[in-house]
Amino acid sequence: DTEVTQTPKHLVMGMTNKKSLKCEQHMGHRAMYWYKQKAKKPPELMFVYSYEKLSINESVPSRFSPECPNSSLLNLHLHALQPEDSALYLCASSREGLGVQYFGPGTRLTVL
């Protein structure tokens, strides 16, 4: 099973809202990733967790707050977003840091 699941599939939020994106994998992978993808562009790395510790933060604004409650779950908490944050947010996981990454289906986020 190489499945990464993400909820919700779609999310519309206002600039004053607080929401969370969720990602789950049961492959025993120890590295999990958040990417942001704008239309017709490749994914851009936002955060990496390795063994439930934040390893990489690619200078992402603080209105995005990641959390890794356990080795199977990854959350992205959203607060006071801007319309330009509208994008497809992809979660991925890999067995370790250097390893094949498996992606989830993404959450399509629209900020009004």
Query: Quick one: which segment of 11-19, 64-72, 76-84, 90-98 binds another protein (CB under 8 A)?
Result: 90-98
Tell me if 45 contacts another protein by CB under 8 A: yes
Tell me if 105 contacts another protein by CB under 8 A: yes
Q: Which residue's entry shows tokens 């801007």?
A: 82
Tell me if 66 contacts another protein by CB under 8 A: no
Which one, of 26, 31, 30, lies nearest residue 3 by Cα? Answer: 26
Instruction: State the Cα–Cα distance between residues 99 and 112, nearest whole angstrom.
Output: 37
If one counts every other C-beta atom within 10 angstroms of the C-beta of residue 88, the result is 16
Choice from 11, 21, 33, 34 touching another protein (CB under 8 A): 33
Q: Where are the extended beta strands (E) located within 39-106?
A: 44-50, 53-57, 64-70, 73-79, 87-94, 102-103
Tell me if 63 contacts another protein by CB under 8 A: no
Minimum Å gap between C-beta 55 and another protein is 6
Residues that bind another protein (CB under 8 A): 2, 4, 6, 31, 33, 40-43, 45, 48, 50, 55-56, 88, 90, 92, 94, 97-106, 108
